[in-house]
């Protein structure tokens, strides 16, 4: 699979840490998108951030410098033709 067929997710132990990193990344001009945590990455509910692979070194430095708590960063196949199925 080509890299464009993957997405990088930053997973957090809680919403607070995710929102903290989201705000900091936006302030510094990095692209990120808040997303539900994919079940393939974790069974716990919560948010994650989708980030660009080429920005990972800078993002890791921000995480370290600001002591932002994360669970992990994972690379997962991008969902194609995803549709909400309801409960």
How far apart CA 82 and CA 57 sit, in angstroms, is: 29
Correct CATH for 3-77 of 3.30.470.10, 3.30.70.120, 3.30.950.10, 3.30.70.100 = 3.30.70.120
What pTM was estimated for this model as a whole? 0.82
Per-residue pLDDT of 4-27, as tens digits, reads 689 999 999 999 999 999 999 999
Q: What is the pLDDT of residues 22-73, one digit of tens each?
A: 999 999 999 999 998 887 777 676 899 999 999 999 999 999 999 999 999 9
CA angle 12, 82, 51 (to 5 degrees): 35
């Amino acid at each position: 699979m080509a890299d464009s067929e993957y997405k990088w997710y930053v997973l957090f132990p809680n919403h607070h840490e995710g929102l903290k990193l989201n705000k900091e990344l936006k302030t510094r001009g990095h692209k990120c998108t808040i997303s539900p945590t994919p079940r393939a990455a974790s069974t716990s509910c919560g948010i994650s951030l989708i980030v660009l692979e080429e920005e990972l070194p800078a993002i890791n430095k921000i995480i370290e410098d600001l002591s932002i708590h994360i669970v992990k960063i994972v690379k997962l196949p991008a969902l194609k033709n995803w549709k909400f199925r309801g409960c």
